[in-house]
Structure 1
């Protein structure tokens, strides 16, 4: 939104803008193109740079908090009804990538099927990894858990 639809020579105005910061962290850059009637500079590009602070992951939440809103939309809802690779990409990859909080898939692959099953079902004590099994309050069925283990071991 612009404070005025017309500015005279030398006048200043304010451009207000918003953007969705969900699923973003760290430095985010956006550009805004402003069309002018100036023959020398008919288009001015403004570059906005913002540092997005992760309010959710920086706090000490209990692991099962990810099953409740607002965490649920990223950590659960995207994987509903999915299995295998699609489920891993939807709900697991955000934590289990190289350089992130969880072990990446190459490290996960080194675990035994039983270790994977236990970690996925019951969680990992002393970490932010909760149990995802529906038996312990998580969203995953036994079939989905088996599909994740198969995907990880065969990937």
Structure 2
């Protein structure tokens, strides 16, 4: 057996344990340094909409029915602040109980977090509406592909 190593000055680790490796969430995804470099900056990160009036305005904009969710989008007017893109998430009680609705919204949030920085446009509002029996059960890669297709269709118009 090897003798214990003395801890470094200021370290709280016991002398008989090896230092622990630092593990971050970026490493969990199959981990390459490229994924950490591709993380969106604060300027590209969408702002979450919370006001009902913003959701209602977006519902009168462009719409797309994707297999995993309903998608609504609108370009903001010049009179509104167009500092970046905004996104909102909602699920009706048709999706299920609170647990099912929250699960569906978590999946929509993660898909938007991964897709919007590269495919979204500043000055636009996006609303993702969960679908009963589809949002929570759909394959996550397919859910992301649905969002990319919806964004391409909306911005092509």
**TM-score surpassing 0.5?**
no
Please give the TM-score of this superposition, normalised by the length of structure 1: 0.24
The two structures have a TM-score, normalised by structure 2, of 0.24
| Higher helix proportion | 2
